[in-house]
Structures are given as structure tokens and as C-alpha cells.
Copies of this chain bind each other. A is one copy, B any other.
Amino acid sequence: MLTVLKLGGSVITHKDEPETVDEESLAKTCEVIASFLAQEESEQNSGRRHQLVLVHGGGSFGHHHASGHGVTSTEGTEDAQVLTAIHRAMGRLNDVVLDALHDQGVPALPVRPLSMARRDKAGLSFPADQFEAMLSEGFVPVTHGDVVVDTDVGGTVLSGDDIVVSLAESLAADRVGLCSTVPGVLDESGAVVPAIDSYEEVASILGESESTDVTGGMAHKIRQLLQLDVPASVFDIDSLERFLQDERAGTVVRG
């Protein structure tokens, strides 16, 4: 069973202060992941084996640098020094995440998008071979939002959400989880919507919501997740363990 799990930038960093890690939240997250992987390993004899791919957002590492230089997912730059600066900031966060995972015994290895992904007019090219090779050796690949080379515009920002969608498809993941700071998609009364089967069901809620901006635009996220062949759950850190144990967590998006 293969899980693609996104850790939102807001879960592992303090978004308001440049390059500050939310150590407590990160440690808790890694603890939950480690105990999930340990538990599954002991069940291997029953033929069940868990594989995990982690994707993390930029939080206060990537966004500050990217917005400071005016680089977005559509506005590019040809300045190699600027692209390198954004990439390095994300690398510093990636290092911290890897350290926290290693501390818990998770065999995590980095995959840096600038080194292997690119965009052109046909769309995103995000090869999954490297992830497959790492998974087959028992490693946990950890990738992240980054800058990538973008034909005719130099380099642009590639979001963690776009990576999740691409990897879920190309790796034929069994399930997708997006762990952010909101407990799910919220209805008008602030209650978590348990499941979404079509965009129409939630258009009235998501169309105007500003409060969900913290997760990178919930409306766009839901539209993307609805296109996947597998269920995707949107939840917060309190529900991470339930998600990993295959219990209902937050909002389930069924495409």
C-alpha cells in the first residue's frame, strides 16, 4: 500500500517568521509517521507492506524568498542566483525535515525537484522513477515545493500540491493525505464536511472562502484532488494518525 502524504508548510514552520521551524509540530508529525511505519513493518509477513512518499510545503522558508523576488508558479525569472536562493531556502527546510525523520528512525532520503522536474507548454514533467527506486530499496523519499526550470520563462515555483497530484497519478498511489492546519473542508457553520464527490457540492462554500488561504487555496486543491483516481483526505495534525491507520480523517475527496 502506497501513501503520498503532504505536510503543509504551515504544519512544520511558523508562517509569520522567516525560516522558523515549528519544532514541536514537526517532531510530533515525525513520531506519528515513524510509529506507523514501524507497525506496518512487523506486519510484513502477512504480505502487507506500507510505502510512504512525503511532500512538504515551503511555509516560512520558501514563500518569503519567492515572494521577495516576485517569482510565482507563472511569473518566472532567468536569474540563476535568485532561483538558487529560493531552492536553497527550501533545501534548509528539507534538511530539517530529514533530520527530524532520521531522529525517529525513518529512512528518509531527499528528492530535490530543481534537479529532476521541469515545466514546459505541455505541462509539468515530474518523473517518478527516482521515487520508485527509493521505495523499492525501503527508503522514504522526501520532496518539497521548489523552483523548476520552465521553458521560455527561466524558472518558476512548483507547489507541493502540484507534486502530490503528479506523484499520486504516476506512482498509482493507493491514497493521498494532505495534512494542514485546518481540520478539513469546513461548511458555513464551521463543521468539517465529511466527504466531497463533486465540486458542485462545495462550490458555495469554497467559492468565497478567505479563511482557507493558509493551506494554499482550498478551492484549487479540491479541484485537483477530485481529478485523482484514489481517495484524498484533507485533515490537520490531530487526525494524522487516524489517516495513516485508514480511519476517517477530515474531509475525504472522492474523485
Chain A interface size range:
35 or more
**A110 touching B102, Cβ below 8 Å:** no
**B127 touching A149, Cβ below 8 Å:** no
Name the distance in Å between A84's Cβ and chain B's nearest Cβ.
Answer: 6
Whole-angstrom CA separation of A133 from B87 in the bound complex? 17
Q: How many chain copies?
A: 2
Given A78-B138, A139-B149, A109 and B133 touching (CB < 8 A)? no
Question: Chain B contacts of A116 at CB under 8 A?
Answer: 115-116, 127, 130
Question: Chain B contacts of A79 at CB under 8 A?
Answer: 107
A118: CB under 8 A from chain B? yes
Name the distance in Å between A92's Cβ and chain B's nearest Cβ.
Answer: 11
Whole-angstrom CA separation of A79 from B138 in the bound complex? 10
Q: Which residue of B lies closest to A113 (CB)?
A: B115
Q: Which residue of B lies closest to A107 (CB)?
A: B80
A89-130: contact bitstring with B at CB < 8 Å (1 yes, 0 no)?
001000100100010001111111111111010000101011
Q: Besides the contacts A80-B106, A84-B102, what 19 more A-B pairs have beta carbons closer than 8 Å?
A: A78-B107, A78-B138, A80-B139, A83-B109, A91-B91, A109-B149, A110-B114, A111-B114, A112-B112, A116-B116, A116-B127, A120-B133, A125-B129, A133-B149, A133-B151, A134-B149, A137-B150, A137-B152, A139-B149
Interface of A toward B, CB cutoff 8 Å = 78-81, 83-84, 87-88, 91, 95, 98, 102, 106-118, 120, 125, 127, 129-130, 133-134, 136-140, 149-152, 154-155
Give the 8 A-B CB pairs with smallest separation, nearest first: A80-B107, A115-B115, A116-B116, A118-B133, A112-B115, A133-B149, A81-B102, A111-B115
